[in-house]
Amino acid sequence: MSRKNEPNFERYLTALHCEEPDRVPLGDWHVDQLAKDAFLGKKVKTLQDQVDFWCAAGFDYVTASSGILEPVRAPEGMTTKGDAVRTQYGESRQREWAHEHEGVITNWEQFEKFHWPSVDDFDFSQWDVLDQILPSGMKAVLLLGKIYTTVWMYMGAETFFYSLENNQELVAALFEKVGRIQYETFLRVIEHPCVGAVLNPDDVAHNTGLLVNPKYLRKYVFPWYRKIGDVCREKGLGFVFHSDGDCTEIMDDLVACGFHGFHPVQPNAMDIVEAKRRWGDKLCLIGNINLDSTLTLGTPEDVRAEVYERIRTIGPGGGYMVASSNSITDYVPLANMKAMIEATFEFGRYPIQLEEGGVKGKIWTFRAKPKIVEEVVPDQLDVEGYVRVLLGGDPSPVIERVEKDMGAGLQVSEILKKALIPAMTIVGKKFQNGEIYIPEMMLAAKAMSGAISHFRDRLVTQSEQTLGTVIIGTVKGDLHDIGKNLVIMMLEGQGFRVQDLGVSVSSEAFVEAVKAHHPQIVAMSALLTTTMIEMENTIQALEKAGLRHEVKVVVGGAPVTEDFARKIGADGYAYDAPGAALKCKELVS
Ligand code: B12
């Protein structure tokens, strides 16, 4: 690139304070190693190389991490390695992260025995070096270890979700421990003059809303953010929050915690125009250049058009930085990364006066969330009563209720069909509407499956058939499975038998499973744009094995769309877990 960057951290701070600097700054926090290497044309190894990369790419800062980090620095026994994945840079990379079902701290004994690090155990020498080598005008942004994410990863996602409702003292102790370590780390790092801002990353949301009820974030997490925020404000440091997903419900809390900026405003989860209207004078919005589609699947011209459009609509008045909607991953083509940077320099100069449609390209806009389609018709049975006991998470009151209805002369199978399954559908609807969160939905599913197991013998003797068998897995190269596990729970709740093939499932493994289990449905989950292609590969492998006509194929996951499902020849798509269960029901009826 011929352009010469002159870093100016004041530019970054001015944008953070929702004012207009000389131009719109770049705001990414993480660029994968291979993308950095390709950009610089050499291996980025040393801290000096890092500084060279961030500077050459046009940033006013370099980022560096301290504190308890995830996932690669997770303690021994906590991480799992995935299959190698395809990257845009010719190399195959293995990723590593925490086990989803069970972590290393699930009870008090493990909590006490755990070798908790102290701040003195961390190596802060990189900050001494950065104090020396940063060019004038450039500062460092501290990526502080996570609080919410660290706690759930230590416990494992499912244990954490259940414990929020059932083992709150342990959860509170973990937040206290982790929060203190991160806070003390923060105090230690900001002693270094090179630090100009702090970015607090914690993924608390997914596409449809928060992962857990905000009351837990307010109780356990936000008090720590507020403590950090107070110090940042006092010392004139920038303070940025990162979370994927739809954070609408906590944007006011973020302002109250003292954050200046919010990153990455994921476009399929939040409408940035609406966010600018509501919080644009209090929070600088950073990101929104679409990693699901434009940056990964689009052309450089599409990227240019999207950057133009964001600067045109969100840039005026200040309070905007251009960045990807998560990070520059190793599946973003180099030409697209460069196009994003160049377009920011080309169109971002203040005052911004850009005409609508000034650059032509395919622009991806906010995708509204569909609402549940099936209306539940209340029966003579007290469906709402079943909803209440299901949400309690304990199978016993559900069983008692079923027994009471049996006393009135009803068969278990009838109660299942007319009360329990509709009640579970209502639970799904509450999740879709944001009335309940993942932990409540998991608890309801657990109570439901406990009750079904209790009556299994009677259901069988009444020749109650299951709706059929579904085999499900997260596709090869992808290890996201929280959503897949929720889909399983909803499928079981609706009466399907489910074979879970786990994560990073190859097309061959799907074919083998179809041969072994003769399912009615093959369901695939993908959360990464780069792994969506595996869904098509699996459909082709099923065709090749002569099995395609025997099964219906359903696909889903955050970046998957109905259009994509149609294109690859799937039979069905659903936006979320309740929708997945309804779609599968529709396909077997
Ligand atoms: C938690 C999370 C992680 C965790 C995963 C832990 C785990 N055990 O699953 C960790 C930290 C390990 C992680 C790692 C990464 N992640 Co991640 N992650 C997320 C996050 C924040 C939430 C995902 C989640 O659990 N959601 C909650 C569940 C309930 O929702 P869901 O998964 O979408 O599932 C629902 C629907 O999609 C649907 N559904 C799901 N499966 C199926 C299947 C069928 C058949 C059907 C019908 C429906 C369906 O129903 C579900 C329930 O309603 C998302 C952000 C987001 N907006 O989704 C990013 C996100 C998925 N991650 C992303 C990225 C980039 C990564 C990394 C590459 C980061 C990195 N640079 O290393 C790695 C890659 C790991 C890998 N190879 O798989 C990007 C993917 C972008 C893209 N399109 O390519 C996202 C979208 C973030 C973003 N801002 O862009 N991640």
Burial of 154 (0-12, 13-18, 19+ CB in 10 A): buried
Q: Answer yes or no: is the C-beta of 28 below 6 A from any ligand 1 atom.
A: no
Long-range contacts of 212-217 (CB under 8 A, 24+ apart): 212/161, 212/164, 212/437, 212/438, 212/439, 213/164, 213/436, 213/437, 213/439, 213/440, 214/249, 214/250, 214/253, 216/164, 216/171, 217/148, 217/250, 217/253
Q: Containing H/E element for 301?
A: helix 300-314
One-letter amino acid for residue 383 of the chain: V
Edge to edge, what strands does the sheet with 320-321 contain?
Answer: 61-66, 139-144, 195-201, 238-242, 261-263, 284-286, 320-321
Which residue has the CA at smallest separation from atom 53 of ligand 1? 576
Distance CA 182, CA 127 (A): 16
Structure tokens at 438: 């993942």
Q: What's the pLDDT score for residue 74?
A: 44
Residue written as tokens 């309740």?
578
Distance CA 151, CA 182 (A): 12
- For ligand 1, the distance from its centroid to the CA atom of residue 196, given in whole angstroms, is 31
Which residue has the CA at smallest separation from atom 20 of ligand 1? 206
- End-to-end Cα spacing for the chain: 58
Q: pLDDT per position in the chain (589 positions), as tens?
A: 556 778 999 999 999 999 999 999 999 999 999 999 999 999 999 999 999 999 999 999 999 999 987 643 344 444 444 455 555 555 555 444 444 456 789 999 999 999 888 999 899 999 999 999 999 999 999 999 899 999 998 888 888 988 998 899 999 999 999 999 999 999 999 999 999 999 999 999 998 899 999 999 999 999 999 999 999 999 999 999 999 999 999 999 999 999 999 999 999 899 999 999 999 999 999 999 999 889 998 999 999 999 999 999 999 999 999 999 999 999 899 999 999 999 999 999 999 999 999 998 887 665 656 655 555 555 678 999 999 999 998 999 999 999 999 998 888 878 888 888 889 889 988 988 889 998 998 889 888 888 888 887 776 555 456 789 999 999 999 888 888 988 998 888 888 999 999 999 999 999 999 999 999 999 999 999 889 989 999 999 999 999 999 999 999 998 898 989 999 999 999 988 888 998 999 999 8
Omega into 264 within 30° of 0, i.e. cis?
yes
From the list 255, 314, 250, the residue with the least C-alpha distance to 283 is 255
**C-alpha 395 chain-centroid distance:** 30
Contacts of 404 (CB under 8 A, 6+ apart): none
Q: Answer yes or no: is the C-beta of 520 below 6 A from any ligand 1 atom.
A: no
Q: What's the pLDDT score for residue 577?
A: 85
Backbone angles phi, psi at 62, to 5 degrees: -120, 145
Structure tokens at 445: 């599913």
Which residue has the CA at smallest separation from atom 33 of ligand 1? 558
Q: Answer yes or no: is the C-beta of 525 below 6 A from any ligand 1 atom.
A: yes
- For ligand 1, the distance from its centroid to the CA atom of residue 167, given in whole angstroms, is 26
Mutate to test the pocket of ligand 1, among 72, 244, 438 (most ligand atoms within 8 A of CB): 244
Distance CA 77, CA 111 (A): 15
Q: Is 238 left (phi over 0), alpha (psi -120 to 50) or beta?
A: beta
The structure's pTM equals: 0.86
- For ligand 1, the distance from its centroid to the CA atom of residue 479, given in whole angstroms, is 8
Q: What's the pLDDT score for residue 312?
A: 97
Q: Which atom of ligand 1 sits closest to the CA of residue 82?
A: 77
Q: Are 541 and 506 in contact (CB under 8 A)?
A: no
Q: Answer yes or no: is the C-beta of 479 below 6 A from any ligand 1 atom.
A: yes
- For ligand 1, the distance from its centroid to the CA atom of residue 484, given in whole angstroms, is 10
Which residue has the CA at smallest separation from atom 82 of ligand 1? 528
Q: What is the CA radius of gyration of the chain?
A: 25
Q: Answer yes or no: is the C-beta of 291 below 6 A from any ligand 1 atom.
A: yes
How does strand 209-210 pair with strand 85-86? unpaired
**C-alpha 357 chain-centroid distance:** 31
Q: What's the pLDDT score for residue 486?
A: 82
Q: Which atom of ligand 1 sits closest to the CA of residue 97?
A: 12
Q: What's the pLDDT score for residue 276?
A: 98
Q: Answer yes or no: is the C-beta of 492 below 6 A from any ligand 1 atom.
A: no
Q: Containing H/E element for 132?
A: helix 125-133
Which whole-number Å values give the CA distances from 204 to 102, 238, 265, 389, in the listed order?
A: 19, 21, 13, 27
Q: Are 206 and 199 in contact (CB under 8 A)?
A: no
Distance CA 165, CA 172 (A): 12
Q: Are 38 and 1 in contact (CB under 8 A)?
A: no
Q: Answer yes or no: is the C-beta of 506 below 6 A from any ligand 1 atom.
A: no
